[in-house]
Amino acid sequence: MTMHLLGPGMTTTNYKKRKKKPLTVAQLNQMKIDWKRHNKDCRRKHIHAAQFEKFDDYVAYVRGEYKAPKERPNPRNTYKPPSVRETKEYPSLSNNVAGTGTRKESMKYTGERKLLGIATMHKSNMVPIFEDTKEQAIEIAQMRR
């Protein structure tokens, strides 16, 4: 079969709700058993708010017709936090205060030992070579393969 387009003013969606069939006595008896089991499971799982006090509410829930009641405020919980917090404002001194610490002296090379270079001994083991230890540079060069 092929799909055909309908003319103007025609629609393919159905906006009418279907009527639900009335429940039989056997279905009502089975639902009573399920209702008790549902309430027992809710108590066991500590979900007391999900229990149904009336059997009619459970039937409506199973059939998709149930509307949960709006929550009422708890009369025991009457505490309301204050809307404005009263705190003192302390002036900031960050703009008016100069640093109290002293400046660290910059590092300078004194020239006691003269660095010739850096040698690689094994793989990435870097060793500094100074002027007074030229023998060490020769040893390191002979160790490399």
- Judged against a pLDDT cut of 60, whether residue 145 lies above it is answered with no
The rounded distance, in Å, linking the Cα atoms of 31 and 23 is 10
Q: In this structure, is residue 2 part of a structural domain?
A: no
Q: In this structure, is residue 47 part of a structural domain?
A: yes
Q: In this structure, is residue 91 part of a structural domain?
A: no
Q: In this structure, is residue 77 part of a structural domain?
A: no
What is the structure's pLDDT at 87?
80
What is the structure's pLDDT at 6?
65
More confident residue, 78 or 54: 54
- Judged against a pLDDT cut of 70, whether residue 4 lies above it is answered with no
Total domain count, the chain:
2
- Judged against a pLDDT cut of 80, whether residue 72 lies above it is answered with no
Query: Average of pLDDT values for 108-136?
Result: 79
More confident residue, 2 or 134: 134
First to last CA, the chain: 83
Q: In this structure, is residue 7 part of a structural domain?
A: no
| Structural domain boundaries, residue 47 | 25-63
Q: In this structure, is residue 96 part of a structural domain?
A: no
What is the structure's pLDDT at 105?
87
More confident residue, 87 or 111: 87
What is the structure's pLDDT at 37?
97
Q: In this structure, is residue 19 part of a structural domain?
A: no
Q: In this structure, is residue 14 part of a structural domain?
A: no
What is the structure's pLDDT at 30?
96
